[in-house]
Amino acid sequence: MENKILEIKNQALDEINKASDLKSLDEVKNKFLSRNSQFNNLKKGLKDIEPSKRPKIGALLNQISSELSKLIEEKNDIFYKKELSEKLLKEKIDITLDGNYIPQGHVHPLTKTINEIVDIFNYLGFSLIKPELSPEVELEKYNFDLLNVPKEHPARDVQDTFYCENMDSVVLRSQTSNAQARQMVNSKPPIKIISPGRVYRNESVSARKNNLFHQIEGLYVDKNVNMAQLKGVLNEFIRLYFGSSRPTRYRSSFFPFTEPSVEIDVQCIMCHGKGCSVCSGSGWLEILGAGIVDPNVLEAVGIDSNTYSGFAFGMGVERLTMLKYAIDDIRLFFSDDVRFLRQSV
């Protein structure tokens, strides 16, 4: 009996020695120390042995199985640490690597310009108009009539203005000036508002013209509003928008709703006044129309023109954006070319 036990022990020692990893060690453990192992069967068989020999054999079996367990445990510990460090090495994370790039959305260049301009005029004391006073689908009354635009004016022609089919006197507004008419009908002076939005004109599309574009309208009505204030506000706007003072030029002009009327040019950013293809050789670029609100307009909207006066202006957002960023084709704003759109932050 004892020989048999020692034989199994030697076999177990041999196999423990040969085990090369956690898995094979576990197999050895199962083979020699589990319930159905040969050792356990020998223990179970103790009851059949002669009682006087039982304690010695029993003690031997216990001693061997705890020796083997200890050995297996020690080796298990070594294998475990080894495998763990191999695994950690394999799964090592390089924290110096860049993370995944998640592309960010962009504000459209025109929205960026509108936001900037609105901020500047907020700073100069103008508030943003209520959206309901600046609709894109508009009655002729606000787009033309109240603004002193005569019935036979060429701007009213279907060649210039989009009329809504089967709806009498309804147009896609051709200018944001409809907002000043609505604001004056709906409130009393002092009025100091700014109104950005889309406008539509029946034009053939080219690098300089699109049939949808954006304008920003401004209106200031109070007692004693005059041309000097208009110049002060618009010069300050130009300085803040372009980031430095720029030579400007006021040219007299004509709009049905202002008298006197002016157009403002800034020196061409491309050639600095020398004359180039962008400014058609003149050295100047027009950025807005403006003037002192015609007393006829004030009277038409119910404001006493003897007590109040006002100035108004309207500027093209595309034009201002093109000038600031040297963009040479208006159609880029309405294309879905992401290379263009991504440039705006």
What is d(CA 264, CA 268) in angstroms, rounded to the nearest whole number? 12
- When binding is defined by CB under 6 A, the residue of 39, 79, 313, 333 that contacts ligand DAH is 313
Segment 141-170, which members bind ligand DAH (CB under 6 A)?
Answer: none
Q: How far is the CB of 95 from ligand DAH (least distance, A)?
A: 58
If one asks whether residue 177 binds ligand DAH (CB under 6 A), the answer comes out as: yes
- Out of 312, 317, 320, 322, the residue judged to bind ligand DAH by CB under 6 A: 312
CB of 290 to ligand DAH, least distance (A): 5
Binding mask 196-235 toward ligand DAH (x if CB under 6 A, else -) reads: ---------------------x------------------
Task: Give the residue at shortest CB distance from ligand DAH.
Answer: 314
Of 197 and 314, the one with the shorter C-beta distance to ligand DAH is: 314
CB of 166 to ligand DAH, least distance (A): 26
Residue closer to ligand DAH, measured from CB, 26 or 286: 286
Name the residue nearer to ligand DAH (CB basis): 45 or 150: 150
In the bound state with ligand DAH, the residue whose beta carbon lies nearer, of 45 and 260, is 260
Stretch of 157-165, 284-292, 298-306, 333-341 contacting ligand DAH, by CB under 6 A: 284-292
Torsion of CA 145, 146, 150, 152, to 10 degrees: -10
Among 189, 196, 291, 310, interactor with ligand DAH by CB under 6 A = 291
Interface residue with ligand DAH, options 28, 139, 181, 290 (CB under 6 A) = 290
List the end-to-end C-alpha distance of the chain, in Å, as a whole number. 88
Residue pair 176/194 in contact by the 8 Å Cβ criterion: no
Number of residues that bind ligand DAH (CB under 6 A): 12
The binder of ligand DAH chosen from 37, 65, 161, 175 (CB under 6 A): 175
For ligand DAH, the closer CB: 140 or 217 = 217
Give the full edge-to-edge strand order of the sheet including 127-128: 127-128, 191-200, 212-222, 309-316, 284-293, 258-267, 248-255
Binding stretches for ligand DAH (CB under 6 A): 175, 177, 217, 255, 257-258, 289-291, 312-314
